Amino acid sequence: MRRFLFTLLTCCCVLVANAQFMNPVKVTTSIKETSPTEAVITFSATIQSGWHMYSTQVVPDGPTPTTLTVEKISGAKLDGSLKPSTTPIKKYEDMFDADVYYFENTATFKQKLKLTGGKYEVEGYLRYGACNDQNCTPPTSVDFSFNGEVKTQEEAKEEKKEEAEQKKEETKEEPAQETAALADSSTIVTDSVPLEEDEMEWEPDIDDPTPIHDNTLLQLFVLGLIGGLIALFTPCVWPIIPMTVSFFLKRGTTKKSTPEEKAAAKKRGLRDAILYGISIIVIYVTLGLVITAIFGASALNDLATNAVFNILFFLMLLVFGISFIGGFEITLPSKWNTAIDNKANSTTGVLSIFLMAFTLVLVSFSCTGPIIGFLLVEVATSSIIGPVVGMLGFAIALALPFTLFALFPQWLNAAPKSGNWMNVVKVTLGFVELAFALKFFSVADLAYGWGLLDREVFLSIWIVLAALLGAYLIGWIRFPHDEEEYDEMGEKVLHPKTSIPRFFMALISFSFAIYMIPGLWGAPLKAVSAFAPPMKTQDFNLASEQEVKPKFTDYEEGMRYAKEHHMPVMIDFTGYGCVNCRKMEAAVFTDPDVAYIMTNSYVLIQLYVDEKTPLSAPIVVKDSEGNERKLRTIGDKWSHLQSTKFGATAQPFYVLLDNDGHLLEKSYSYDEDVYKFLNWLESGLAHYSQNSH
């Protein structure tokens, strides 16, 4: 009787699991040759009601975007990047602390190809993610393979010429049908134009496949504005402002100048100062355009998650940070400054003003370069136009004081005088850049699995940096560029007085260091959780008794262990980009009773369906409809396991098994009811105990 009940329960569980099998997005592929030299691959998606498919926008540590991977191509090359045909919906997600972009009901993506003539072949796959309010599917791949043959450009031109000559002959032979022949000839010319109606349809409403809307653009602009304001108060920029403004206002006048001549010179100086500010803006915005042109849309999208780029960013910020605290100066070749300065002195008019602005850019590079570099790292990973918007904000903040002080020269008297405070600003920025450099190294460390920068190592370095910054601000340590202070007798002051602003900055820095110390023993530290490595990388954790850690991340290994130790199994199908998975872990798994049972009574196997680590060799499998599919990554393998063995594709998805892989209870999905989840775990243990006797 007990065996009968268990068999009946198993059948019911399978039926429930099959009811949860979700394939909410159906994607079809097609290709059309729009001309002898161009073709378009179309990916058309039909999305079930209540579900949404993510667009091409990359969100760091966010949902799976739609991407195109070409594994084989000949006789053709990609023309641009994968683009959606319509503007996606934008929604802010608290879990990712960012906007996400997706489509509902239908979605169409296009990839243009340049054909070189003759035979062509292209093979690869489209990869996408989909979610509803409760679940997410694992990253899904749709394979495609197209081949064909088109005429070469010479053959197409020859054919067009022959058709035209043939029409010409037909026109001579049938003069009575001249009007009709002209109409036919017009039709032929129209058909031969590369831009057909269908090709025009696929062009998106926006040029950028990763659209950035007003709020994000405003954030990038404000970030650039803050960077420019900080650059103003560095030793390379602030002292130049009064000298430059005075030069403009007094240029062309002498002590013997008449009041009329002085008034005209002042008016001319105001005009030159405004042109000077505009020139600074033009130079920095041009820099943003150059960065955009060099990298392009697809490359900028990859920067946020690409491990190699993150290593380069780490090294760049490390060098900038060391430079700012006084290790060395980052300067451009002096001959550049001399050449531009001489050119500015030898020219007149607008060109002279522009060259003077360019001289400022070169001279101040040792201070502005690290800030610009840090700014470009942040804005370049946000949007194709991010560098332009960021540089616009930076340039406006940098140029505005030159214009304002020229308009209101009396303000110069109230402006802070140059002094050691500017070097304090510079050194403080150096500490900030050193701290943020670790963020980018952490991304690379997690991507490659080096394990060099665990959470406690990361926090230890940040604690030391914050404490050292506080010690510097309070005056306990000094750096090479700090000025010495002397008393009225000319004696060097051994313990300089600490200003009130530096005292409060030191107070904040020391407090931040103390705040992070409990994190070394497992405190969550929500204020820095977006920058620090995840909690699972922490080796020393006093809260480990109440923290759920997977015993295995491989299905076969976990099942072998469970059989050897006669324990039931809980499988957690999850994903790095699964919002509801993180919600379950934060709201349910942290409950002491739940954590105790999951840790001590079950063999927990956690399988990430979006794990990007490639398999040693692709595995070809067939779905329920007989269609072949390649499993390329470890995540593909676990996704296939979930869909074939348990009849589900959504995450989070939890199953309880005995040592032989049989279900102990019906599956559990997203539900933050702690008591319900706890009862589910206890019910699984009860069934395991009954069937093991």
Q: Which helix (H) or strand (E) holds 121?
A: strand 118-128
Which letter does DSSP use for residue 47 in this model? E
pLDDT at position 226 over 80: yes
> Looking at this protein, which amino acid is placed at residue 599?
T
pLDDT for 261 equals 64
> pLDDT confidence of 152, banded at 50, 70, 90?
low
> Of 547, 568, 587, 607, nearest to 676 (Cα)?
587
**Spatial distance between the Cα atoms of 316 and 321, rounded to a whole number of angstroms:** 9
> pLDDT confidence of 111, banded at 50, 70, 90?
very high
pLDDT for 352 equals 72
- Rounded mean pLDDT of 35-43? 86
Task: Let me know if domain 544-691 sits in CATH 3.40.30.10.
Answer: yes
Q: Which residue has the higher pLDDT, 28 or 351?
A: 28
Q: Report CA-CA distances (Å) from 375 to 127, 211, 288, 322, 371.
A: 31, 20, 11, 17, 6
Tokens standing for 464?
A: 């030391």
**Spatial distance between the Cα atoms of 302 and 293, rounded to a whole number of angstroms:** 15
User: Within 13 Å of residue 123, how many CA atoms lie on the same side as its CB?
Assistant: 7
pLDDT for 335 equals 61
pLDDT for 212 equals 37
pLDDT for 444 equals 73
Tokens standing for 127?
A: 């990869």
The CATH number of the domain covering residues in 25-155+195-202: 2.60.40
Can you say whether residue 449 is alpha, beta or left, with left for phi > 0 and alpha for psi between -120 and 50 degrees?
Answer: left
Which phi and psi (to 5°) does residue 121 adopt? Answer: -150, 135
Mapping DSSP to helix (H, G, I), strand (E, B) and coil, where does residue 222 land?
Answer: helix
pLDDT at position 91 over 70: yes
Q: Which residue has the higher pLDDT, 412 or 319?
A: 319
- Rounded mean pLDDT of 608-627? 78
User: Within 13 Å of residue 403, how many CA atoms lie on the same side as its CB?
Assistant: 15
**Spatial distance between the Cα atoms of 303 and 291, rounded to a whole number of angstroms:** 13
**Segment 391-407, tens digit of pLDDT:** 888 888 888 887 777 77
| Whether the model pTM is above 0.95 | no
pLDDT for 471 equals 92
pLDDT for 366 equals 63
pLDDT at position 17 over 60: no
Angle between helices 455-474 and 500-516 (to 10 degrees): 160
Q: Which residue has the higher pLDDT, 680 or 489?
A: 680
- Rounded mean pLDDT of 318-330? 79
- Rounded mean pLDDT of 156-176? 59
pLDDT for 133 equals 73
pLDDT for 193 equals 32
Answer yes or no: same fold for 25-155+195-202 and 544-691.
no
Angle between helices 365-380 and 259-302 (to 10 degrees): 40
Which phi and psi (to 5°) does residue 41 adopt? Answer: -95, 130
**Spatial distance between the Cα atoms of 280 and 355, rounded to a whole number of angstroms:** 10
Place of tokens 């409809």: 625
Domain range summary for the chain, segments of one domain joined by +: 25-155+195-202, 214-449, 468-532, 544-691
Average pLDDT over the chain reads 74
**Spatial distance between the Cα atoms of 478 and 498, rounded to a whole number of angstroms:** 13
> pLDDT confidence of 291, banded at 50, 70, 90?
low
**Segment 250-274, tens digit of pLDDT:** 655 555 566 766 677 667 767 777 8
pLDDT for 180 equals 41
- Rounded mean pLDDT of 553-571? 92
The residue ranges of DSSP E strands in 129-165, in sequence order, are 130-131, 140-150
pLDDT for 631 equals 87
> Of 466, 692, 669, nearest to 581 (Cα)?
669
**Segment 335-386, tens digit of pLDDT:** 655 655 555 455 556 777 777 777 777 666 666 766 776 676 665 555 556 6
Q: Which residue has the higher pLDDT, 189 or 510?
A: 510
Residue 278 Cα to chain centre, angstroms: 31
Place of tokens 């260091």: 513
Share of the chain above pLDDT 90, in %: 13
> Of 44, 196, 174, 37, nearest to 106 (Cα)?
44
Place of tokens 């904040």: 508
pLDDT at position 572 over 70: yes
> Of 653, 642, 647, 630, nearest to 126 (Cα)?
630
**Spatial distance between the Cα atoms of 149 and 653, rounded to a whole number of angstroms:** 46
pLDDT for 214 equals 39
> Of 207, 33, 40, 59, nearest to 108 (Cα)?
40
Dihedral of the alpha carbons of 41, 57, 531, 473, in degrees to the nearest 10: 120
Share of the chain above pLDDT 70, in %: 65
pLDDT for 4 equals 38
Altogether, the residues listed in the chain come to a count of: 693
Rg (alpha carbons) of the chain, rounded to whole number: 33
Which residues, listed in sequence order, are joined to residue 83 by a DSSP beta bridge?
A: 110
Alpha helices (H) along 29-80: none
> pLDDT confidence of 463, banded at 50, 70, 90?
very high
**Spatial distance between the Cα atoms of 305 and 59, rounded to a whole number of angstroms:** 9
Sheet holding 52-54, edge to edge: 89-93, 98-103, 52-54, 130-131
Q: Which residue has the higher pLDDT, 334 or 102?
A: 102
For the residues of 405-424, what is the DSSP string, one character each?
A: HHH-TTHHHHSPPPSHHHHH
**Segment 486-524, tens digit of pLDDT:** 555 656 665 667 888 889 999 999 999 999 999 888 777
